[in-house]
Amino acid sequence: MKIVVLDGHVANPGDLSWDKLAALGELEVYPRTAPSEILARCAGAEVVFTNKVVLDAATISTLPALRFIGVLATGYNNVDVAAASRAGIVVCNVPAYSTDSVAQTVFSLLLEITGRVGEYSPEVRGGRWSSCADFSFTLGPITELAGLTMGIYGLGNIGRRVAAIAAAFGMKVVSPTSQAAGNLPNYVSKVTFEEFLGISDVISVNSPLTQDNHGIFNADTFARMRRGVVFINTARGPLVDEPALAAALASGQVGAAGLDVLGQEPPAADNPLLSAPNCYITPHIAWQSTAARRRLLDISAANLTAFVAGKPQNKVN
């Protein structure tokens, strides 16, 4: 069985092992694959794994040997699932492997914004504390999380983990979730979307991207938020109108933003958020902890093992 990994570098830049997949067939791992290289590399392959390489209907139709597509991620919008289904190809993803890592990144961004550790450390190393007339100095306000309201948009696995951590910090937690109030943890209050916008001191976006919520955070919704709100997005970039967020940061309507995702990745050099004030951006690393990537590879191998055994798991079609 020929197994091809089209873009394995980000998931495994060399610190982990592909052995579990290699044990299942003849494995070829490519660090990256350009669109023009897909067909040649996948020729004769029964199994193809992709992280972000697009497998559209036209590509799938030219790969008659293909029987299994494994997505090295939770999101699978880069695969034409309907076309795969028509061709009798099973598509499997890897759900929930990065829950703890993404939730941790939410608070890494939030704590950097509120505690300013990254600003203080170089000042101390530069001698400012050594030459200080007092036992301490300040670069500006430090914000305590206890007592603030954390609004969570998207209360799935990651959103619930964020809620639990926020509650442990002593924050009030609200969410405009579609889930029944009785099914929520006792530290989460269900609110309307309008209430969520108006009462949240911090907003954490943890929702999948759908046709209905594309660009839901825009000039109108930013204007309806509490002035000075901290806005965190570790979900999907297209949920946010980026010029509108940049304008809201410039005006102070949004006090600070912590972003791990953007609408285009890598971003264009002229993306307005790259020069926006009080905007902290990481390069889509929330899922990248070593533990999360190891789970990703292990579950991917388990998905293929289950498929070979005739009992597919984590199917999305």
Active site residues: 236, 265, 284
Strand-pairing partners, residue 2, are: 26
Amino acid making up residue 142: I
Instruction: Give the count of beta carbons closer than 10 Å to the beta carbon of residue 176.
Output: 18
CB 273 within 8 A of CB 281: yes
Q: Within a 13 Å sphere around the CA of 124, how many CA atoms are in the beta-carbon half?
A: 10
> Whose CA is closest to 178, among 209, 203, 153?
153
H, E, C per residue of 129-173: CCCCCCCCCCCCCCCCCCCCEEEEECCCHHHHHHHHHHHHCCCEE
CA gap 220, 216 in Å, rounded: 9
Angle at alpha carbon of residue 162, lines to 161 and 164, rounded to 5°: 65
Estimate the crossing angle of helix 99-115 against helix 290-308, to 10 degrees: 160
